[in-house]
Copies of this chain bind each other. A is one copy, B any other.
Amino acid sequence: MDKPFLDKLRKIDPYVPGEQPKTDNIIKLNANENPYPPAPGVTEVLRTFDAAKLAIYPDANAKALKTAIAERFDLQPSQVFLGNGSDDVLALAFQSFFCSDKPILYPDITYSFYPVWCDLFRIPYENMPLDEDFCVNVRDYDKPNGGIVLPNPNAPTGRGVTLEFLEDLLQHNQDCVVIIDEAYVDFGAQSAVPLLDKYENLLIVQTTSKSRSLAGMRIGYALGSETLISTLEAVKNSYNSYTMDAIALAVGEASIRDEDYFQQTCRKVSTTRDRSAEALRALGFTVLPSLTNFLFVTHPNKKAPDIFAALREKGIFIRYFKLPRIDNYLRITVGTDEQMDKLIAALKEIL
């Protein structure tokens, strides 16, 4: 090799982002996006924002947005951390809190980014298998560990755990940081927020990408004790002081402040989800109980990759994971009623 500079590059298996179909005439149920627009105040922000203000650096402490989030959860602004989507928040949290030689623990079937961050930051980890019904066994997490990360509800299964489960988990794990990834919590699951008062080692991560229709805006946040949040701030400020741009800060605030629109949108998605689950069961699908904006399904007579491909032919994009234990399952994002009717009609033809 005559290019010695190559030896100094970071060796990494490239993580390839999921497919984003380019054509317009499709039904996109593959990325757990919200089929409804963000709160009306978001449009108002874009229409009235003074572009001249973009010449100035944004507020590195993001006081206005942190205050809006803190007020919504009855917390202090110093208990709120912001990032470019919850992926950014989680990546910083992994770097900040999982500095032990002991492995961190998380389910074997879960968000696919966890092992990627562990590899990137050289964090040892151990997977705890879900049971046959894809449920988490809380006793699996009673062993010595360097930290825990648990999505509630879990993805791509859609299954949630109760507040009692979460408190049990925390009671048995006070020597490490426990991250509850609540990306999908707003569609019917129980948030761990009421436990923040009691557990200084609890970090909750949420996002505006799903329930607030702001996937395109990259706004995620963490809620936790001042101890955890100030550690996150220190690491983040050593990385990049100004991660949140001025428009994201204003858009995020407009969204968080509109509780009515938020509740109404989440209700619409949950109603369509439950109605779609019934329709899928009527077609013979096994549908896991979902507390999210997606359904995780399998059919006894037709292989998941075949259904996936057949739907794709018809311009309907859903998600298939070629992974152990779930390679005969499909993840279907909940769209509008109209989109789901078209999906059901297409599935009827395919089956």
User: Are the C-beta atoms of A216 and B246 separated by less than 8 Å?
Assistant: yes
Answer whether residue A82 sits at the interface, using C-beta atoms and an 8 A cutoff: no
User: Which residues of B are found within 8 Å of A174, using beta-carbon distances?
Assistant: 4-5
User: Are the C-beta atoms of A85 and B242 separated by less than 8 Å?
Assistant: yes
User: Are the C-beta atoms of B98 and A54 separated by less than 8 Å?
Assistant: no
Contact of A240 among B84, B100, B201, B217 (CB under 8 A): B84
User: Are the C-beta atoms of B20 and A99 separated by less than 8 Å?
Assistant: no
Within the complex, the shortest CB–CB distance from A86 to chain B, in Å, comes to: 9
User: Which residues of B are found within 8 Å of A214, using beta-carbon distances?
Assistant: 54-55
Answer whether residue A292 sits at the interface, using C-beta atoms and an 8 A cutoff: no
Answer whether residue A120 sits at the interface, using C-beta atoms and an 8 A cutoff: yes
User: Are the C-beta atoms of B52 and A37 separated by less than 8 Å?
Assistant: yes
User: Are the C-beta atoms of A38 and B10 separated by less than 8 Å?
Assistant: no
User: Are the C-beta atoms of B46 and A240 separated by less than 8 Å?
Assistant: no
Answer whether residue A28 sits at the interface, using C-beta atoms and an 8 A cutoff: yes
Number of copies: 2
Answer whether residue A270 sits at the interface, using C-beta atoms and an 8 A cutoff: no
Answer whether residue A327 sits at the interface, using C-beta atoms and an 8 A cutoff: no
A145 CA to B248 CA, complexed, in Å: 40
Answer whether residue A177 sits at the interface, using C-beta atoms and an 8 A cutoff: yes
Contact of A56 among B46, B53, B147, B215 (CB under 8 A): B215
User: Are the C-beta atoms of A55 and B84 separated by less than 8 Å?
Assistant: no
Most buried by B among A17, A61, A177, A238: A238
Within the complex, the shortest CB–CB distance from A298 to chain B, in Å, comes to: 26
Interface segment out of the listed A70-78, A226-234, A314-322: A226-234
A228 CA to B5 CA, complexed, in Å: 10
Report if A60-B17 is in contact (Cβ < 8 Å); known contacts: A8-B97, A10-B235, A231-B9: yes
User: Are the C-beta atoms of A58 and B15 separated by less than 8 Å?
Assistant: no
User: Are the C-beta atoms of A213 and B54 separated by less than 8 Å?
Assistant: yes
Listed A/B pairs (8) with beta-carbon separation below 8 Å: A3-B200, A3-B201, A4-B174, A4-B175, A28-B56, A58-B218, A88-B243, A216-B246
> Which positions in A face B, CB cutoff 8 Å?
3-10, 12-17, 20, 28, 31, 33-38, 42-43, 46-47, 49, 51-61, 84-85, 87-88, 91, 95-100, 116-117, 119-120, 146-147, 174-177, 200-201, 209, 213-218, 227-228, 230-231, 233-235, 237-248, 251
